[in-house]
Chain A
């Protein structure tokens, strides 16, 4: 079974629009970590955020914000006032205490910001 689901395969928005990338996860662990990574066309993975299962406080970093809802097992990522440089594939990932040696990546959401 897929542990991390990113239902949105591709999203296109016009520059300056807000966009939310969805992430739903599945785990039986009480201790786990959630991540978001950005992968630009060059291929490297850029770390954006890590959140542990005991901290549901939403986080804002500049134009980026994250909404962690344990009740719905979701960890959504919002970009406000999108820019062309935000165009990339975004991956949500899960790391569990019980299987602490690996990441489970979602299938990614390809975001295109149109100027």
Chain B
């Protein structure tokens, strides 16, 4: 797949279990964060976002938690399925230069075992 070769931390879970993927961000002034999922052979795809005035946001089977005190994001996936196997990236908005751009974290590979 297209993300093979990346030297990433790997989270291995059993199908049906809950997954928690963590991310630390660098800029305490960042006010918007996104989680992306990159499946083999594809580019990153938007999963869920959260603004800095929120601590938690829920989507379909996914929840993002934001702890601004320690500059930490987490993505929780409920009842993990084989189709959730992918690399997951967090991203923060950086507004230097007069426009918004995404700064991506290193990524975590999620491996779901039957």
Do A and B pair up? The answer is no
Question: Taking beta carbons and an 8 Å cutoff, which residues of B are in contact with A?
Answer: none
